[in-house]
A = this chain, B = another copy of it.
Amino acid sequence: MDELQVAVIGAGHGGKAMAAELAARGFAVRLYNRSYENIQIIAARGAIELTFEDGQQEYGTLQLVTSDIAAALSGAHLIMVVVPASGHADIARTCAPYLKDGQVLVLNPGRTGGALEFKQVLQQSGCTVDVIIAEAETFLFASRSSGPAEAHIFRLKNTLPVAALPASRTAEALHLLNQIYPQFIAAPNVLYTSLNNMGAVFHPALTLLNAGWIEMTNGEFQFYIEGVTPSIARVLERLDRERVTIATAMGVKAQSATEWLARAYSAHGETLYDAIHDNPGYNGINAPSTVRHRYIFEDVPYSLVPIAALGRRFGVDVQGIETMIQLACIMHGTDYRHRGRNLAKMGLEGLSIEEITALIEHGVEHDDYNRSASGSSMPDPIIVRPDS
């Protein structure tokens, strides 16, 4: 293979940090952003200044800074999509005509159902090439952009689960991904990465149930340390239990929020309240400065809405999650259910657990898989289901 070419799609906080960090380590990086205005200064300088928490400074020189998707994708081996989940469908439509066989595209992160929706939009756009779509469980950095051509990384995660769609191709994706980040590890499948969505549990509830405090103080309080009180923790526990139960119903062993706090931060406690307050990593993290924040307009339609849809489909009580969705809809005067990822957008409408499992594990619908498993080594072409 030629020198690894990485395309970073999206020049927000995260995209700039990733492009700069990779470039600073010598990788060949192209940075794409839909609006050229936002990357004009980076393009003029050809680089992004990168700083770290320990004071270290780097300079990431980019190969290409462009709002031309064809140029960004041409010859790229690895495509790192770093945009809010609300942009996934648009990015899929934009990329569809230019993707090539063998490319690996990773959503950083997918939130819930990102890879499923992305693949669905590619198919609807007539894209038939053999590109591997994968999604990460969360974003690799905690980062912030301090200027138009600047990025600051607070910390990197030690490990980050990622899954391809289908899971049978996760190893191929990791083969490329681990060349740039050894932190990526294999998750069982995209249901695991999609349902292990801790932001879905924390972000909307903490924002909604501290709405007055946030608006009155512009978020000048500690989001987790002060914003998670015993009563609010009880609501978080309910949401978390619903999420984990949905995963169980779908055959996935998701981590509970307390298990995740123990693993990711070595924070322990009998209750979720105790575990959150045992996590020094939450010290100093302030609340968002407004309730018009991605904690609502991304995490509600692209995390809670698809999780609730899966819960309803498979008979799990999702009253807690529905309550958060409804409250967000009322507070923002927006129909997040309509805008959000439903079963149809994820391509899961009418599918049984077995069919979904076959789809995410092997990329074929259940019947096709049974047939192909017992016969030819090539899966049959996807058959449109009569009820879809």
Q: Which residues of A contact B (CB under 8 A)?
A: 206, 208-216, 221, 226-232, 234-235, 238, 291, 319-320, 322-323, 326-327, 330-333
Contact = CB atoms under 8 A, between A and B. Distances in A.
Given A235-B327, A330-B238, A330-B323, A230 B215 contact: yes
Given A319-B326, A320-B330, A323-B323, A226 B212 contact: yes
Contacts of A320: 326, 330
A70 to B, nearest CB: 42
A212 to B, nearest CB: 4
B209 A227 contact: no
B323 A327 contact: yes
A232 B331 CA distance: 7
Given A212-B213, A231-B291, A234-B333, 6 more contacts: A208-B209, A209-B209, A211-B232, A212-B228, A235-B330, A320-B326
A197 to B, nearest CB: 19
Contacts of A209: 208-209, 211-212
Contacts of A210: 210-213
A83 B238 CA distance: 33
Nearest to A227: B212
A102 to B, nearest CB: 48
A323 B209 CA distance: 13
A209 B238 CA distance: 17
A229 B210 CA distance: 11
Contacts of A230: 215
26 contacts: A206-B212, A208-B209, A209-B209, A210-B211, A210-B213, A211-B231, A212-B226, A212-B227, A215-B231, A215-B232, A216-B221, A216-B226, A216-B227, A216-B229, A231-B331, A232-B331, A235-B327, A235-B330, A238-B330, A319-B326, A319-B330, A320-B326, A322-B326, A323-B326, A323-B327, A327-B327
A287 B215 CA distance: 16
Contacts of A229: 211-212, 214-216
B235 A212 contact: no
A229 to B, nearest CB: 3
Nearest to A206: B212
Contact of A331 (B221, B235, B331): B235
Given A212-B210, A326-B323, A331 B234 contact: yes
Nearest to A212: B210
Q: Which of A206, A210, A221, A231 has the most CB of B within 10 A?
A: A231
Nearest to A237: B330
A321 to B, nearest CB: 10
Nearest to A327: B323
A320 B214 CA distance: 21
Contacts of A214: 229
A222 to B, nearest CB: 9
